[in-house]
Structure 1
Amino acid sequence: MKTPKVHVRRKPYQSRAKLTQEALQESFVRLLHEHSADKITIREITNLAGVGLGTFYEYFSKKEDLIALTIHMHIKNNAEALKSYAQSLINLSTVSSIKDYLAQIIHFQLERIQIQQFLWAQVFLLERQISNIESYCKSYNMMVHMWESILSPFILDSIQCQHISLNIQRIYYGFISQTLLINPNFQQWEILETDILQAIPNT
């Protein structure tokens, strides 16, 4: 059953507060390598983060809120990394066509996922278990906007750019998420990369 809208009780405006919230997220991720999310307790998270239970409840009303924020930040950080990489390709003039441009970005993304394969598999699983439709749409739309930003130097028509970006996200997200949900230990990355590129429509 989906949880209601996630509420973060205290937004980390101050640097110390931000660091505390990040420490809680990092502790949760570390504990995921030991056992499943439903077995992880708030006390385990706070003990590893070096804070008290009271501090946890300053920011979150329940564990699911921390998980939802961790998923969102993971996706957001990944989107920023992809945009930065795409901009570096433009700045260095290392692309000869939009097809080559997308191929390099997809390759970069798959390399990043392989490095943190366990975490990505857990993110996709927890996203299905924890995220409500509003949170899911927010993350999905963020990725579509990321693709729009990446494609805008090549596709000047904004409507066309939006449509192609949506289709790329549908393909990219579907291939990767379904692959890791079915097989978290998946190893045939070169084949997956080829399949994704073949499925992306010609632009």
Structure 2
Amino acid sequence: MKNPEIQVRRKPRQSRAKLTQEALQESFVRLLHERAAHDLTIREITDLAGVGLGTFYEYFSKKEDLIALTIHRHVKNNAEDLKTYAHSLIKLSPNLALDDYLQQVIHFQLEQIQAHQFLWAQTFLLERQISNIKSYRKSYEMMVQMWQSILAPFVQDAEQLKGISLNVQRVCYGFVSQTLLVEPEFGEWDELEKEIIKINI
């Protein structure tokens, strides 16, 4: 069932509330290793998180809202990690050529995805089941902006930067998401990386 947007009833403002919301997300992810998302109950998620049903409904109106937020946070955290890595590369090697720089960033991204392969495979699957087109476009735009931030030190022209960033996202996202949707336990990461780099560089 497609939902219009993530519906969070109450945004956590205090550290304890944030920890509670994070615990619910972590419990959901842990249970995903045992069964498919549609088979999991809210009661199972709250029991594992150590909170009551009432607490769940303080933050979410239904399970799908928790899933949508978990996907969003997972993608956002990955984008932040990638930006941090890319900017540290520039500081360490200010004379790095664009091709070498992009190759190292893509390698880091694929390493991160491979390290959490199960969760990424589930993310791509659930994204298609839960997210509507508006949420999907918002998430995709966030990733394009991430690439713009990463490539900005090398590409000064704004239109060119936007075009290159969009194409890098298309290739990386397309290759990885389609691969893990079809083959969740995919293992030929070196070959996949070569194909992605060949197209992008």
TM normalised by structure 1 equals 0.97
Q: What residue number does 1:47 align with?
A: 47
1:9 has 2:14 as partner: no
**1:135 Cα deviation from its structure 2 partner:** 1.0
Distance in structure 1 (CA, Å) of the matches to 2:69 and 2:95: 35
AA at the equivalent of 1:57: Y
- Give the unaligned 5+ runs of structure 2: none
Distance in structure 2 (CA, Å) of the matches to 1:157 and 1:133: 30
1:43-192 aligned at under 5 Å gives the runs 43-93=43-93, 96-192=96-192
Distance in structure 2 (CA, Å) of the matches to 1:94 and 1:82: 17
- Contact 1:2-1:131 at 8 Å conserved across structures: yes
Indicate the SS of the match to 2:51: coil
Distance in structure 1 (CA, Å) of the matches to 2:138 and 2:55: 27
- Contact 1:87-1:150 at 8 Å conserved across structures: yes
**1:36 Cα deviation from its structure 2 partner:** 0.4
**1:35 Cα deviation from its structure 2 partner:** 0.4
Query: Alignment length, in residue pairs?
Result: 201
**1:94 Cα deviation from its structure 2 partner:** 6.4
**1:138 Cα deviation from its structure 2 partner:** 1.1
Deviations 1:82-120 (A, max 9, x none): 000001100101663111001001111111111110000
1:191-202 aligned at under 5 Å gives the runs 191-200=191-200, 202=201
- Contact 1:10-1:59 at 8 Å conserved across structures: yes
Deviations 1:135-168 (A, max 9, x none): 1111100000000000000001111101110111
Q: Tell which deviates more after alignment, 88-97 or 148-157.
A: 88-97
**1:75 Cα deviation from its structure 2 partner:** 0.1
TM normalised by structure 2 equals 0.98
- Contact 1:8-1:60 at 8 Å conserved across structures: yes
Indicate the SS of the match to 1:51: coil
Q: What residue number does 1:26 align with?
A: 26
